[in-house]
Amino acid sequence: MEIDFSLNDVENVAKQLIENVKTKTLLFYGDMGVGKTTLIKAIVKVLGSVDEVSSPTFSIVNEYQLNNDKVYHFDLYRINDLEEAYNFGIEDYIDSDNWKLIEWPEKIKPILTDQFDSIDLELGSNNRILRLNLLEK
């Protein structure tokens, strides 16, 4: 699935993603500044959280409450290796049944299972381009 969108349409794009994903683990790929965190903020809102969503750049992971679930939002940009991820307990989060929205997932690739959907974001000439790669079931 490919979507061209402007940031004005980000909430509609978030709704489309939630309607189409097959897992609760979403991996976000894209250059710095392409809009990964902005899209994740919209997804958390669409999932029903009323929490204030912010980038976990320094905390590495933020947790948001849903009615009967949680969302873990990771920004792994600042970790240097897999050992740092283990040090903050990444495996406990990854093994949970909660939503996991992961920016810079390539940093933990060795521990990711094949149970995820990936989202590639890039800047187009006038908008953003999103490519959703769904888990094959």
Terminal Cα-to-Cα distance of the chain (whole angstroms): 16
pLDDT band at 26 (very low <50, low <70, confident <90, very high): very high
> Residue 65 belongs to what domain range?
2-133
The model's pTM is 0.91
Instruction: State the average pLDDT over residues 98-115.
Output: 91
The pLDDT score that the predictor gives to residue 136 is 54
The pLDDT score that the predictor gives to residue 72 is 96
What would you report as the CA-atom Rg of the chain, rounded to the nearest whole angstrom?
14
Tokens at 86, concatenated: 């283990």
The pLDDT score that the predictor gives to residue 18 is 94
CATH number, position 24: 3.40.50.300
The pLDDT score that the predictor gives to residue 137 is 43
| CA angle (40 as vertex; 39, 43 as ends), nearest 5 | 90
Tokens at 65, concatenated: 């409450």
> pLDDT per residue over 108-125, tens digit each?
988 887 789 999 999 887
> pLDDT per residue over 34-89, tens digit each?
889 999 999 999 999 998 888 877 789 999 999 999 999 999 999 998 999 999 99
Number of domain units in the chain? 1
Residue with tokens 């979507």: 3
